[in-house]
Amino acid sequence: MAARMQMAVSLGFHIVFACIGMVMPWFMFVAEWKWLRTKNPVYLDLAKAWAKGVAIFFAVGAVSGTVLSFELGMLWPTFMQHAGPIFGMPFSWEGTAFFVEAIALGLFLYGWKRLNKWVHLYTGMVVGISGVLSGIFVVSANAWMNAPSGFDWIDGQAFNIDPVKAMFNKAWFSQAHHMTIAAFSATGFAVAGVHAVLYMKNKLEIHAKAITIALAFASVAAVLQPISGDLAAKNVAKLQPAKLAAFESHFKTEEKASLIIGGIPDVENREVKYAIKLPGFLSFLAHGDFNAEVKGLEEFPEEEWPPVPITHYSFQLMVGIGMFLMLIAALFFAGTYKWKHWFEKKWWLRLLAIATPLGFIAVEAGWVVTEVGRQPWIIYGIMKTKDSLTPMPGIQYTFYTITAVYVILTFVVTWLLSRQIQLLQSKYLKNG
Amino acid sequence: MAEANLIILVICLMLYVLLGGADFGGGILELLSRGKASKIVSRAIAPVWEANHVWLILVVVILFVGFPSVYSTVLTALHIPVLLVLLGIIARGSAFTFRHYDIDEERPKAIYSAIFRYSSVFTTFFLGVTVGGLILGEITMDYQLGFYQVYIHPWLNWFSVSMGLFMVLLFAFLAGIFTVSEIEDKDYIIYFTRMTKRLLISLVVMGAIVFATAKVAGHPLLKDFINSPISVACIVIATLALPAFWYFLNKNKGNWLRLTAGLQTTLIVTGWFAIQFPVLVKTKSGHDITIQAAKAPEQVQLFLLIALIVGVLIIFPAMGYLYKTFKFSEEPES
């Protein structure tokens, strides 16, 4: 259990930094591009300020990623021994993508003066592309755990390994687009939110520009996300019916299954209390037909159920936030189209401020849905999590140590960023 | 195919020792020079340190894809020192970045610097201890033996500890070379040349201690070295290169210095690898994990090799461009 918690903390920490590390380069790229096009120095300042942020997040993301590559073996040696050769291919590509990202970022950060402007802009784009690619590779490896393929499992050993088939497993595509879009949405709203708070205090041009760039990305992502989520859910229905049943708290197999919104799942009595039920909608969402049969948890032996309440709540939280963010996106589009004066209004900036952490909360909740929803399996249907644990006793101390380090690191990074922002702020106030 | 991947692994390891070593050593050198080297080190490694890190990730990936049982066994038995290395990596990586990006104030900078320096020593030491544990062969897969025997003893012994110290000196030495060939200020050149010489002498002494502790621990390290023609060749060349090295150091010939230091380090790694081959992890029971036993199926090795070759074709030119942009230009950076 401590091992699982440690993995959850490490990944939960890494995922935030990884998302920002893969999305923020795009913002700084757009800002620099705008600067080259419009010659407005505000865009250059913005690009430089964001680049500093990227550097901090990238560095912390890189060390936490390095740690993860070891942690997998320190906590789950049995899993890695069998799974390493099968799902390792995306990791080896990820290594390359990450390397390219690191090099391009080095050039971008330290090359403002040494590189030709357009070459410099291009390195920024390379950072963004390789960041997204490495994210997709890692997600593909995770998708393999949900939809293991590319090998034959005979008597606890893998035979006829096909790394290509394992990499392009049945879950990789739906997980990859869902995660990538989520990263853009979460980071976009977070960045926009921070600048909105600053803009409320001082109406500086730089913040308005920052909000527009970040929100443009975030809004497109937020609108696409439900479609991507729908595809992902249909895929889960096909591949991991127990997981779908768990996050919907759907206990009985039935036709015209109802979609359950909210509520408190009562596992013992196999029912959900105080929930809104929309008859037939679950069947429609899972299989595209209001009359289709949706398998309930009762189809599976109880020891193979994922923890139902956690999965259910996380799923509801993720979807709820997703809907809310989509609403903000709609307002943003409407405002851009016709009602530009909205963007100066207090309610709008407040709304953005509220949305700052929401995207990342949804990302973490979604991560819980996919990971906890896979339990008790580490490789779905093949190997159980508890069977792959390290034999070392006292693993909880490793967990405490790592958690403490991450908590400290989170505080330091937050503090550092707020100092950076103050610095930027004071520079502008002096000049203006 | 597995052999090809193993060779790439060793090359990555060497690059990590050389480039990452200079980077880790930078922190150690800062500590030894009481901060004098701080600015130089920081300027020299800042643009490349993130890239250096990736060699280690590559080593890990090749291990768990190509030789999964080595990865699992080592990380189980050496869980504790590896954890300590990881904590060190987090601490120094973050402290270095924070020092670089935080606004200019004395107090936080001093704290970041202190963390960066001490954790550099700490990380390098436990890296050496881990390597020591790998070489010594006290690793056991008999998990019934009790906590101390299984999880402590393989790395907490005189041999591993002296390997840890050896590693600290080696990395500091590499950073010394790097620094000497980088700076232009006369006084600093003299200061760091002297320090590098001292580090070199300590390194040779420490090397002897490593062999001695191996003998005490019952490991035939010296004998193995003599019995392998490749290792003997490595040692002979490394020894012959020493006077040349001393000469370059005195004459302050930057590029030659780096070249000979690189050569010597490469020889140390090659020599060690030659005596180890084809065993990858020595264990107590005598059932050593050989390359034959540990390697993943051919199909996997093939795709791993393809990924690595494509990776190398992309990475090396990019890396070269990075070094070219920053190492051979004089203007200070904003």
What residues contact A99, with CB distance under 8 A and at least 6 apart? B51, B54, B58, B311, B314, B315, B318
Query: Does residue B104 have a pLDDT over 60?
Result: yes
> B73 near B141, Cβ under 8 Å?
yes
pLDDT band with cut points at 50, 70 and 90 for residue A432: very low
Distance CA A352, CA A162 (A): 47
A·B CB contacts under 8 A:
203
| Neighboring chain A residues of B307 at a CB cutoff of 8 Å | 89, 92-93, 96
Q: Which of the 8 DSSP states describes residue A271?
A: E
Query: Does residue B329 have a pLDDT over 60?
Result: no
Q: Is A174 exposed, middle or buried (0-12, 13-18, 19+ CB in 10 A)?
A: buried
pLDDT in tens, B282-324: 777 767 777 777 787 777 888 888 888 888 888 888 878 877 7
Give this prediction's pTM: 0.84
Give residue A119's pLDDT: 87
User: Is residue A202 assigned to a domain?
Assistant: yes
Q: Which of A84, A96, A392 is the closest to B311 by Cβ?
A: A96
User: Is residue A220 assigned to a domain?
Assistant: yes
User: Can you tell me the mean pLDDT for B83-89?
Assistant: 89
User: Is residue A332 assigned to a domain?
Assistant: yes
User: How many structural domains compose chain A?
Assistant: 1
Give residue B58's pLDDT: 85
Structure tokens at A347: 């309610």
pLDDT in tens, B13-39: 888 888 888 788 888 888 887 766 677
Neighbours of B293 (CB within 10 A): 15
User: Is residue A161 assigned to a domain?
Assistant: yes
Query: Does residue B44 have a pLDDT over 70?
Result: no
Q: Which residue has the higher pLDDT, A60 or B334?
A: A60
Query: Does residue B333 have a pLDDT over 60?
Result: no
User: Does residue B97 sit at the A interface (CB-CB below 8 Å)?
Assistant: yes
Report the DSSP beta bridge partners of residue A351: none
ipTM: 0.82
Alpha helix (H) ranges present in A338-394?
A: 346-355, 358-372
Least trusted range by pLDDT, from A113-127, B35-49, B74-88: B35-49
Q: Which of residues 59-118 of A touch B (CB under 8 A)?
A: 59-60, 62-67, 69-74, 77-78, 80-82, 84-86, 88-89, 91-93, 95-96, 98-100, 102-107, 109-115
User: Is residue A276 assigned to a domain?
Assistant: no
Range(s) of the domain holding residue A153: 2-238+315-366+393-431
Give residue B165's pLDDT: 92
Give residue B50's pLDDT: 59
Give residue B168's pLDDT: 92
Q: Is B81 exposed, middle or buried (0-12, 13-18, 19+ CB in 10 A)?
A: buried
User: Is residue A284 assigned to a domain?
Assistant: no
Element (H, E) at B184: none
